[in-house]
Amino acid sequence: MTITTLALLLLTPILVWRIYSRLKTQMARQRSIMSRHYTGVLVFVGMILVSLSEVITRPYALGALVAGTALGVFWGVFALKRTVYEDTEGGYFFTPPMRLGIVMAMILVARVLYIGVELYASQQGNGVPAPRFTDSPLTMLCVGLTGGYFGAYSVGLLLWRRRLRQAIEQA
């Protein structure tokens, strides 16, 4: 075992802990900012569409991406029902369900870390070719799940704000 491998093994738990800590702060009460919601829709739907363009000719990866996206949208709608919405004098706020959001994000993070380990192993001269990100149906399932969840969640927040604006206009 090389020193680089040992460093990788020691630093991975620290990296996971830092990502978890960062996600935990992002899953607390937040100000609703329309540009962030639009950005969320564009980024996560774009993530799914770019992946779709890569796997359109591979049925297993395509099926995994579609299934992951459908499941992610389902969980996103479920999370929207559990979100606490606040319309205060200080602005609009929402509190997402922390555990569900962290789990969805960590699924993709774990898969990306696994691919990073595969890339590291392929560079050690053992003859294994480096994998592409879209090669694995499991990776496409994780991408679809995460993209579907956060994309649906962003759309739900935009719809919430639209309903508030319509209620204000009617009053």
Q: pLDDT tens-digit profile of 50-66?
A: 999 999 999 999 999 99
Q: Cα–Cα distances in Å, from 30 out to 44, 87, 93, 96? A: 19, 12, 5, 8
Structural domain contains residue 157: yes
Instruction: Provide the number of structural domains found in the chain.
Output: 1
Q: In the prediction, which pLDDT does 145 show? A: 96
Its pTM stands at 0.86
- The answer to whether residue 113 sits within a structural domain is yes
114 occurs within a structural domain: yes
In a domain, 10, yes or no: no
Q: Residue 76 domain-assigned?
A: yes
Domain assignment present for residue 115? The answer is: yes
- Tokens matching residue 39: 């950005």
Mean pLDDT of 133-159: 93
Tokens 């962290």, residue located: 102
Identify the domain containing residue 143 by its residue range: 56-87+94-171
When the pLDDT of each residue in the chain is averaged and rounded to a whole number, the result is 88
Give the pLDDT band of residue 23 (cuts 50, 70, 90).
confident
- Asked if the structure places residue 119 within a domain, the reply is yes
- Specify the DSSP element, H or E, that contains 167: helix 137-170
Q: How far is 27 from 5, CA to CA, in rounded Å?
A: 33
Rounded Cα distance, 51 and 45, in Å: 10
In terms of pLDDT, which residue wins out, 15 or 64?
Answer: 64
pLDDT band, very low/low/confident/very high, at 130 (cuts 50, 70, 90) = low
Is residue 39 a part of any domain in this protein? Answer: no
- The predicted pLDDT at position 142 comes to 93
